[in-house]
Structures are given as structure tokens and as C-alpha cells.
Structure 1
Amino acid sequence: MKNIATVSRVKVSADGHGVLSHAGVGMVREVADLTGLSAQVTGVLADTYRGPWSHAPGAVFADLVAAVADGADCVDIAAQASRSRSRSRSAVFGPAASTTTMWRLIDERIDAEHLSAIRTARAHARAAAWAAGAAPVTEWLCIDVDATITIDHSEGKENAAATWKRTFGMHPLMAYLDRPDIAGGEALAALLRPGNAGSNTTADHITVLHQALQYLPQDYQPAPGVGDGQKILVRSDSAGATHGFAAACRDAGVGFSFGFAVDHRVREAVEHLNATAGWMPAIDSDGEVREGAWMAEATDLVSLGSWPAGTRLLLRKERPHPGAQLRFTDSDGHRITGFITDTRRSVVPGGMAGLELRHRQHARVEDRIRQAKATGLRNLPCHHFDANAAWLEIICAATDLVAWTKLIGFADEPALARCEIETFRYRVLHVAARITRGARDIRLRIDSSWQRAQQIADAWCRIRCAFT
């Protein structure tokens, strides 16, 4: 029997006007202006122009940052995204620069000297954002240091090399400020390195540490030798557990918590703790006892004389997850891990278990890097090393703008503040809107059928009010 039901079809034409897609990106772009990032970058790059410019360099930089936050992973895509909605965009957010102008900004204008000044500009923007309500409300600031590999499929990029994972590309070292109240951190520092850079290079870790501390707002920087200064903890996996890095943390007035390799000394300590019942239960993030996990202090069982005074060694044993294979370093059917810290007893609630929980939360940096890979870090699009370093700084700025947008605009909306970047794009940045004009005003009318339209509009107003 034939189906004689008629199918309703809509007529499609290309004559729509006054409609803006990805309207939520304008909120991130506006944060770049409100924090002074655009103006600061314009001042930094003004000397790279011989005459007047058609587009202020800070505006071009902010457009690139907003496009990367929206998912662009190369300059061409960023420029095409701006050009594809140029008519509607220019009416609301100003005209966008051409692809050539964006490429020239990265390839020619941002060299090593100007890159350092742009980092200072980002620090000024961070101070403004924190003063507007994005400041962390916590006793300790935790800076997580970790490296990642960016795969390169072309041998033509400067300093691309074989990596320790038998891949080919770059090996940047990142430092994030942990912000557990949102799904993401703030990118304090990033050091682009060749692919063959070592995982535990002390000099690189010290460089990233100094940059991260230098670009914190003045009131949040550590004060070595002063007891009432800001408390800062630097966390790293075992790649950062070097004597030089620990000494640099001590000299800078910050604490450290580093992963510690399980060698024969640690295995002997574990056997001693097993024989003397020296283990105590570990805890979860909610403070409850974690089933199948224990911890103990092994400071007196392993010589730590070469580390800074007050260094402690804490060990953790846990039943492997179902399907996980045991390793040679495991003991009595349990997975053994360890870390060292210079935090004294009774400083962190929960005692040793609280210290272990605090160090275990360093794993959140993997989420930060994974989100950065979805925000331009998966691809370093330029041939020259300095240009790729500039692109990496753009990625860090995009990470910061998204974090500040969430912290100021969506503090009361955990479903939006705690969602990861892909979900945040779908729920907020990619919302459609209609542009209307009347009474000498331009209005951006967010699609009322979108379930989070009112939340987005409220967040936009909240951000503007925070900077007035």
C-alpha cells in the first residue's frame, strides 16, 4: 500500500538579514575589551606599525582569541569565521580584519620581545578580571605544571622533532591556576619547546614557575620570608620532582607537591609499613573514607637529605581498578604511588589524608590540557617557532577569557559554569540572535526558544555591570 501522506517542505533561500549566528562569542570578545586586554595589546604592538592602521592590533588579537575560544584551530578558520558573519558582526562588535592581517599579526609583529609584553598585558587583564569578581576565594592558590605533546604532521615546522612518545611535533610546558569552581583553569604560563625537550628539564620548570608567579595580580603574589603572604602551592607529577625545581619553589616562597618515583627505597618502605600496619584510610573529595585506598608517611624510612628542609614523603596504596594490570612496583596486589611535599602537619584539614587528596587533585590539569587541545592547542599552524609561540599565547588568552566569562557571568549557573568547553560552546557561544535597530539603539535579541536564552542575557548584563 502506498504512503500518500504529504510531506511539508519549507522553502529555502539566501536572502536572510539581521541574523547573527554564534552570538555568544560576542560575550567573550567583550570581556577582552572590558578587562583592557585589547587596549593593552594595542599599546604593546603599536611600534610594529609604520603608519596608521585600519584595524587596531589589540582588536585583531582579541578577534583571534575569541575565534579560538569558539573552536578555531588555525588563523584561516578564525578569519573565515569572522568574515562569514562580517555584516552582522560589524554592526554589533565592529569590523573584522582580513586573513592577511591576522596572519601578519602572528608571523611578523609578535616576536620574542613583544611576546613577553603581551604576557604582561594578559597579567593586567587578569588583575582587572579578578577585581571585577573573578578572583579566587580560597586560602591556597594551586598552580599545576604539566607538559603535553602537540602532534605535527609536517617536518617543515621550525623546531619540530621526535618526542619521547615516538611521535613528532612540539612539547609545550603549561602552568594552570586550578579553579575548581568552574570546568577549567586559568592559563598562567606556557612555554613552547621542541618536541625532543625533556619531560623533567629543571630549567624549563623554573622558567614556567617564574612566569606563572610574575603574571599573578600583585596582591596574590608570594612574599618570600613574610609569614602573612599569599599561600601558593605548585603541583606536578614526578617529571617536576627535581632538586632544582624544589629549591626554586622554596626560594620563591611557594610550597610544592610533586609526584615521587617508586624505586627500591620506596618499595622497602612499603614492605616495612605492611609489616607494621602503618597505613591509614585515604579520603575522597567529600571527606569520606575512600574504600580500598590507604596512605602512610614514609619520611623517616627514606633518606630525603638532598631535598629542601621539611620535605615529607607520603605513600598511597590502592586496589587496582577492575581490568588493570599490576606493575613490578606494586606490592601485595596494590598499586603504590608516592609524592613529596613541604607542607607541615596540621596545615591542611584532614592531616595526611588531606595532603594526599590535595595532591591527587593535580590530575585535574589533564582536563585543562584536554580542553586546551579542543581550543587550538591540537594544532600549531605556523611554520616559524616564534609564530607558534604567539599562537600558544592566544590559546592561553582564550582559556582565560572563557574562565572569566564563567566566573563573573555564570557564577550562579553551575550547569553552565562547570560544563567543559565543547558543551559551553553549544549552550552559550553558538546561540543565535537577531539584530534590530530602533531609537538610535542596536539590540541583540537572543533566540527566545533557546532554553538558556535568559541565562545568557543575564550573564551578559552581569559582566557589563561588574566592570562599571
Structure 2
Amino acid sequence: MQVSHTSAAVSAVFDDPNLIAQAGLVPVLRLAERCGLSRLVTEKARLTGAKNGAGAAADAKVTGIVAGMASGADSIDDLAMLRHGAMPAVFGGIRAPSTLGTFLRSFTHGHALQLHAVHRRFLAELAAHTPLLPGAGEVAFVDVDSTHKRVYGRTKQGAEYGRFKGIRTLHPLLATVCTPQSRPVIAGARMRRGKAADSRGAPKFVSEALTTAREAGCTGTRILRADSQFYNAGVIAACRRAGAHFSVTTGMNPSIKRAVLGISNNAWQQISYPTAVPDPATGELISDAEVAEIPEYTAFASRKKADRVTARLIVRRVRDLAKPAVVGEQDELFPVWRYHPFFTDQPAATLQAEREHRHHAVVEQVIADSKAGALAHLPSGHFHANAAWLTLWAMTYNLLRAAGSLASAFHAKATTATLRAHLIQVPVRIARSARRITLHPPYNWPWQHAWIRLFDTAHGPPG
């Protein structure tokens, strides 16, 4: 591929007032309106006491930030991409980046909680209007994890030297919801200071995430999955109060180590992974992973009786290959294993429960997605502004997932970057006639059928 003319024959002038670079915002923001985003902000986010009028027209400012994030903005200045060409002809209430920055900096802790309420209700509306979580009435998985986001400004509130030596971070906590047929959506997001413990505030956060999942249509079995930092009595109790199951990695504390080493060799079952290799002689899959179960293990035995929990302890063991065999030397006298236990009360069979627990890693895809998009930066020096930015990103992420589910089966599981490239960043020229605006996207756009399906569904009569 090459330029068809010499450089001397090509020129560029930024002077066309009828072009839009992100035409996908038209159906996406229409979908947000149909799901009540502006109404929810007006009802629940009351920025009383905000300075310099920052609380005025909060709905327009929230939708403006969401639109900018959907277009690829990862800083406040990037929100200026909404102020170009024919955007004012198609969208009303566009605000300058400086206005939106002032709006974010006006947030307090109470305002951040109000925005969390908007996020929860907005997810429920998206799930009601789109096939966002297929199969949620049967089984849904709620995954909880935390991440550290590096920051550079010395004056950023809450940024501290935490887990990583010499690196200042903020420490968001994240909860996602998915089904076996869907990609995850975000049920909750909380900003925390850099030195906050991984499980700080986890019991309350888990309770809210499980409630949000139910409001989003997850009326069947709900299973909380989490890593070992969330293995504590508070998290387990929150699951039981919500009527949900749990599947939490435990680590190898002395009590669990004794229980694992007491498992009979005959109790281990081989588990097959997608990368297992078939034996040429027998055809059986060769895998060094095995799984066993202790049907009744009592966790938190040193605590008071009300905090003790008896459930299943499922253990996966893999060969320890840290010291590979040396050619010419004798084989190992006995195998050395590494053990990976998790504590659960879910009803699935042992091998299925183990496979479903390992799928908890899907939450890492959401974290990676965030850091490649709107969370590439935490743009403000104010802690609560960054907390609001985090929640607005979660709302944007869910909105794009809902738009993808309307566009096509492929886009229902595509990454945010793919959704943005295929459906959002579509250039159009607008034409005005008889008080109507017609959008003219480029001829032969590869994903035009998915785009039109999204556009027609978002602008059609309510289903």
C-alpha cells in the first residue's frame, strides 16, 4: 500500500464543518439515553456545595466524560476531541475540558458514593435493555481483584509507595460479573490509597457487588471468585448473607498444609488442559496437573464459632519443574509438587469447580483493558476526582459492552479497543435536509452491517 500521488500533489486543510470523526457516539449515547443515564445522574448525583457552579448540569458533564472515554480519551485534555467539526450539530451540551476538569475536582467522598449508585443502576438498565449477560438467570460469576496503578505527580492525593519498591501508586479495587456465555462487565470499582491492604473494605465491597449482580439480572446461582488476599471470614460471611456461593484461593497456611499433605495418593484425579499432549502409545492426555478434594474442611478454626466455615477444600497440584532434570543423571527419587488450594461451597463436581475457579483470571483482562484505555492515566491531583474518573470509566466500559452485544456476536466478546476501532471511530459527513440530519459513513466500511444494526436498535422503538 502506498500513497497514490506524489507528496507535492497532496495537501491538508482542517476546514470542513460537516465531518465527525467518532460517529459511533451517535448510537452509543442514544443507548445511554434509553437506559436512563442522564436521568439517573439527575436523581442520584446531587453535587450540593460544589464550588463555582460545578454541580450545575451534572448530567451533561457526566455524559460528556463518558463520550470522551468511549472515543479513547485517557486524560482531561483529551476530552477536547468532542469539540470538532459537526459535533455541535449532532450533540448538545458539549463542555470544554476545563469545565469537565472543574466538575471532577468538585467531587467529595459523598459525591463519589452517589456516582457509585448511578453506576449500579445504569448497569441494571443496560442488562435489561441489551443481551449483556446471557444466561445470567442460571449462573453468574462475580470476580473481585485489586490492581496498582502507577502515578507520577508528587502532589497526587493518596499516591504512596506500596507493593512495588520505588513506585508510587493508587490501589483500585474492582468487581466484575460474567456468565459462561459472556465477557465480564464491571459491577463495582473503588479507588484506594497506594498502601491500602488488598482486602481493605472487601466484605462491604463484595456485598455491594453481589447485590449489583442480582439487580443486573443474575437471579440464578452466583459464585464469588477471588484470590488468596480475599480469603478471610468477612468476605465469606458477606457471600453467605447475600445467598451466594464462594470460591476463594487460600494459599498454604499451616492448617491447610496439614490438610493437603494428608490427602491419599489414590484421591488425586488427572485434569486435562487445552495444552495437554496426547501419549503416542495410548492416546491418553499427558498432564502433570492433578486435583483432589477434602469434602469437609473447617476454615478460620481459631476464631469464634460463629465465624468458622465448613466447606470443600479443592487442591490442584502440578509438578515442580523449577529444577529440571540434567541429561545423563538419574531420575528424581520421588516427584515434587506445588499445591494450589481453594475454598468453596459451590455445588459443581470437583474437576468442573477447579476449571471454573481458574477462569477467575478473566478479571485480569478487564484490568489490562482499563490500563490500555481511560486508566492509562489518573489525570487529577485530587483523590476524589480520580475516584470519579474510575467510576465513569466503569460506566463507559459497560456501555461499550452493551453496544457490542447489540452490534454482532463477534462484537459481544470483542475487546474495548476493537469496539472503538470498529464501531466508535467511524468518520461521517453530515447532510442537512428538511430539518433532518443524515450521516454518511465511508463507502465499504468493513463492519457496516454491525454498525447499522447497533444504530437501528438504539434508535428504534423500545423493545
Q: TM-score, normalised by structure 1?
A: 0.83
Aligned residue-pair number: 435
Q: Cα distance 1:47–1:113, how it changes in 2: closer, same or farther (>3 A)?
A: same
Long gaps (5+) in structure 1: 222-228
How far residue 50 of structure 1 moved from its aligned partner, in angstroms, is: 9.5
Counterpart-to-counterpart distance in 2, 1:145 and 1:67: 27
1:94 is paired with a residue whose SS is coil
1:261 correspondence with 2:251: yes
Name the counterpart of 1:448: 443
1:74 correspondence with 2:63: no
Counterpart-to-counterpart distance in 1, 2:53 and 2:253: 62
Counterpart-to-counterpart distance in 2, 1:34 and 1:290: 52
Q: Does the 8 Å CA contact 1:29/1:63 hold for their aligned counterparts?
A: no
1:120 correspondence with 2:123: no
Counterpart-to-counterpart distance in 2, 1:378 and 1:181: 29
Matches within 5 A, 1:27-426: 27-43=27-43, 44-45=45-46, 47=48, 56-78=57-79, 80-83=80-83, 85=84, 87-108=85-106, 110-134=107-131, 136=133, 137-138=135-136, 139-166=138-165, 167-179=167-179, 181-182=181-182, 184-201=183-200, 204-216=201-213, 218=215, 220=217, 230-273=220-263, 276-283=265-272, 291-299=287-295, 305=301, 308-319=308-319, 325=322, 332-343=335-346, 347-348=347-348, 351-407=349-405, 409-410=406-407, 412-414=408-410, 416-426=411-421
Q: Cα distance 1:46–1:357, how it changes in 2: closer, same or farther (>3 A)?
A: same
2:46 is paired with a residue whose SS is helix
Name the counterpart of 1:225: none
Q: Cα distance 1:37–1:422, how it changes in 2: closer, same or farther (>3 A)?
A: same
Q: Cα distance 1:355–1:458, how it changes in 2: closer, same or farther (>3 A)?
A: same
Which deviates more, 133-142 or 448-457? 133-142
1:277 is paired with a residue whose SS is helix
Q: Does the 8 Å CA contact 2:297/2:311 hold for their aligned counterparts?
A: no
Name the counterpart of 1:15: 15
Q: Cα distance 1:51–1:270, how it changes in 2: closer, same or farther (>3 A)?
A: closer
Which deviates more, 304-313 or 333-342? 304-313
Q: Does the 8 Å CA contact 1:304/1:311 hold for their aligned counterparts?
A: no
- Tell me the percent identity: 25
Q: Which amino acid aligns with 1:278?
A: A
Counterpart-to-counterpart distance in 1, 2:286 and 2:129: 38
1:367 is paired with a residue whose SS is helix
Counterpart-to-counterpart distance in 1, 2:258 and 2:129: 52
How far residue 46 of structure 1 moved from its aligned partner, in angstroms, is: 6.5
Q: Cα distance 1:54–1:164, how it changes in 2: closer, same or farther (>3 A)?
A: closer
Counterpart-to-counterpart distance in 2, 1:164 and 1:272: 34
Counterpart-to-counterpart distance in 2, 1:313 and 1:36: 44
Runs of 4+ displaced beyond 6 Å: 49-55, 301-304
Which deviates more, 384-393 or 12-21? 12-21
Q: Cα distance 1:434–1:413, how it changes in 2: closer, same or farther (>3 A)?
A: farther
Name the counterpart of 2:329: none
Name the counterpart of 2:279: none
How far residue 362 of structure 1 moved from its aligned partner, in angstroms, is: 0.4
Counterpart-to-counterpart distance in 1, 2:139 and 2:364: 20
State the Cα RMSD in Å: 3.2
2:207 is paired with a residue whose SS is helix
How far residue 244 of structure 1 moved from its aligned partner, in angstroms, is: 2.0
Q: Cα distance 1:119–1:200, how it changes in 2: closer, same or farther (>3 A)?
A: closer
Q: Which amino acid aligns with 2:242?
A: A
Counterpart-to-counterpart distance in 2, 1:200 and 1:112: 20
Q: Does the 8 Å CA contact 1:132/1:466 hold for their aligned counterparts?
A: no
1:15-37 Cα distance to aligned partner (Å, 9 max, x none): 33422112123333222212111
Q: Does the 8 Å CA contact 2:315/2:340 hold for their aligned counterparts?
A: yes
Long gaps (5+) in structure 2: 276-283, 325-333
Q: TM-score, normalised by structure 2?
A: 0.84
Q: Does the 8 Å CA contact 1:314/1:339 hold for their aligned counterparts?
A: yes
How far residue 55 of structure 1 moved from its aligned partner, in angstroms, is: 7.6
Q: Cα distance 1:55–1:243, how it changes in 2: closer, same or farther (>3 A)?
A: closer
Name the counterpart of 1:25: 25
Counterpart-to-counterpart distance in 2, 1:198 and 1:122: 25
1:39-73 Cα distance to aligned partner (Å, 9 max, x none): 22134336557999998321211110121122211
Counterpart-to-counterpart distance in 2, 1:58 and 1:261: 45
Q: Does the 8 Å CA contact 1:280/1:294 hold for their aligned counterparts?
A: yes
Q: Does the 8 Å CA contact 2:153/2:381 hold for their aligned counterparts?
A: no
Counterpart-to-counterpart distance in 2, 1:366 and 1:375: 14
Q: Which amino acid aligns with 2:110?
A: E
Which deviates more, 457-466 or 333-342? 457-466
How far residue 357 of structure 1 moved from its aligned partner, in angstroms, is: 0.9
How far residue 436 of structure 1 moved from its aligned partner, in angstroms, is: 1.2
Counterpart-to-counterpart distance in 1, 2:214 and 2:419: 27
Counterpart-to-counterpart distance in 1, 2:376 and 2:225: 24
